[in-house]
């Protein structure tokens, strides 16, 4: 089996919190040597974003769970690049690198000589990925970027939450995470360009742009109709019944996507008159009459318990599922079979929990050989490498 696909690529990560580190972690999973540059005074802010904190076998605080969610596979070097000496060391690292990821405010690295124009002269092949809230231009460019605010400004919260209720953000920082993913896509494309031309480039990634782009069909619903989609709780604007429904002992997800599935669903719960009713015979009719449809379904499902109903729906080929807690999800046989949980040896007698990247590659599988690093854990090792390279 071959080595991970990005083996031999070096990434310098001048990023903290989530979007930049998420991109760095994924590149590390794919085999890149990701060097995380952290301030010696505390390091990445998320090291303190707890509880919960990961505790070593001797009771040592090994940083917050949040930090470990997005820093697997990296090496940590503690450098204060606000000093001339620290900035010079980072420039030496960049001279050996293929990629730099940073998420400072607009122009925030220029005063340290770590901006793209300066570093491009040092390393013309460098792919420089800058992640900000609003991008490098436009009236909001100088503003800081916070996932919560981006979800609000970029439309996500206007379509999330119960109909008529308070707008809701997603349960995780999706603007940050999606921006990290799109950054990796752009970085890999830019690396391909650098391989063929010898020239790096500047990548301008904005949380605002990303959040707009991932609204998917809701964007087109507006652009085609001229009407902004609204909050619909767990219902779907374009499909019915496609929502959470109550049963006798809780709730399930019902995801009926076509007329055949609707017919089979109605047969399972003994509502055989509905598929022949013009109000419900087609998806368009069901969407137009969703309130009446839901009332009929909810009345009937009050007689059913989750587990036996889900078993019958699965046998009938009707998409439906339980609503698992995160604990139930990790205990699910499918999550176990797919090996989603990782426990990584940190070299100090501890097993650190992690979650694998959702990529299974037959010839060049991702590598999970290194857990999240301790602050400055690899400083001496990395500086010694620089000395050897300078000899």
> Residues 98, 115, 147, 176: which is the catalytic one?
176
Q: Where are the alpha helices (DSSP H) in the chain?
A: 19-29, 65-68, 84-95, 116-122, 147-153, 174-197, 207-213, 217-225, 259-268, 283-288, 290-301, 306-316, 326-331, 333-337, 379-390
| Contact status, residue 147 vs residue 18, Cβ threshold 8 Å | yes
Q: Do β-strands 250-255 and 242-247 pair in parallel, antiparallel, or remain unpaired? A: antiparallel
Q: How many CB atoms lie within 10 A of CB 389?
A: 11
Tokens 């300066």, located at residue: 118
State how beta strands 127-132 and 201-206 pair.
parallel
User: Tokens standing for 17?
Assistant: 């919190």
Collapse the DSSP code of 309 into the 3-class scheme (helix H, G, I; strand E, B; otherwise coil) and give the result.
helix
Task: Decide if 119 contacts 101 (C-beta within 8 A).
Answer: no
Distance between CA atoms of residues 238 and 242, nearest Å: 9
Biggest CA–CA distance in the chain, Å, is 83
Q: What is the DSSP string of 63-76?
A: EEHHHHTS-TT-EE
Angstrom distance (rounded) from CA 80 to CA 87: 7
185 burial type by CB count under 10 A (0-12 exposed, 13-18 middle, 19+ buried):
exposed
Going by C-alpha positions, the residue among 247, 273, 274, 254 that lies closest to residue 316 is 254
Distances (CA, A) of 280 to 267, 274, 288, 318: 14, 6, 9, 17
Q: What angle (nearest 5°) sits at the alpha carbon of residue 270, between those of residues 269 and 273? A: 125
| Both tokens assigned to 311 | 């078993």
Q: In the annotation, is 332 catalytic? A: no
Nearest in space to 199 (alpha carbons), one of 125, 128, 98, 129? 125
Between CA 319 and CA 313 the distance in angstroms is 7
Just list the catalytic residues. 176
């Amino acid at each position: 089996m071959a080595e991970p696909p990005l083996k031999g690529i070096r990434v310098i990560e001048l990023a903290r919190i989530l979007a930049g580190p998420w991109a760095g972690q994924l590149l590390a999973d794919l085999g890149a040597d990701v060097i995380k540059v952290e301030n010696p005074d505390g390091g990445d802010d998320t090291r303190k974003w707890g509880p919960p904190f990961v505790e070593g076998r001797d009771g040592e605080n090994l940083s917050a769970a949040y930090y470990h969610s997005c820093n697997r596979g990296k090496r940590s070097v503690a450098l204060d690049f606000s000093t001339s000496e620290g900035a010079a060391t980072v420039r030496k690292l960049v001279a050996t690198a293929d990629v730099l990821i940073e998420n400072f405010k607009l122009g925030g690295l220029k005063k340290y000589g770590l901006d793209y124009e300066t570093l491009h002269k040092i390393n013309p092949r460098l792919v420089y990925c800058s992640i900000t809230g609003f991008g490098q231009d436009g009236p909001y460019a100088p503003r800081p970027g916070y996932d919560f605010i981006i979800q609000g400004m970029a439309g996500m919260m206007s379509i999330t939450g119960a109909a008529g209720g308070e707008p809701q953000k997603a349960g995780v920082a999706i603007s940050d995470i999606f921006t990290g993913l799109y950054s990796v896509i752009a970085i890999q494309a830019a690396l391909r360009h650098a391989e063929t031309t010898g020239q790096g480039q500047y990548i301008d990634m904005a949380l605002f742009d990303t959040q707009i782009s991932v609204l998917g069909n809701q964007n087109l619903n507006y652009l085609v109709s001229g009407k902004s989609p609204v909050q619909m709780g767990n219902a779907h604007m374009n499909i019915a019944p496609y929502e959470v429904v109550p049963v006798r002992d809780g709730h399930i997800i019902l995801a009926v996507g076509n007329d055949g599935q609707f017919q089979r669903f109605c047969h399972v719960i003994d509502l055989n008159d509905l598929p022949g009713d013009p109000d419900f015979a087609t998806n368009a009719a069901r969407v137009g009459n969703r309130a009446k449809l839901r009332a009929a379904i909810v009345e009937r499902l009050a007689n059913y318990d989750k587990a036996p109903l889900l078993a019958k729906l699965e046998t009938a080929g009707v998409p439906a599922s339980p609503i698992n807690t995160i604990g139930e999800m990790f205990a699910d046989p499918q999550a176990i079979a797919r090996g989603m949980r990782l426990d990584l040896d940190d070299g100090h007698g501890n097993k650190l929990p992690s979650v694998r990247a959702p990529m299974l590659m037959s010839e060049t599988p991702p590598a999970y050989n290194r857990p999240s690093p301790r602050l400055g854990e690899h400083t001496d090792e990395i500086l010694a490498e620089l000395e050897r390279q300078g000899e």
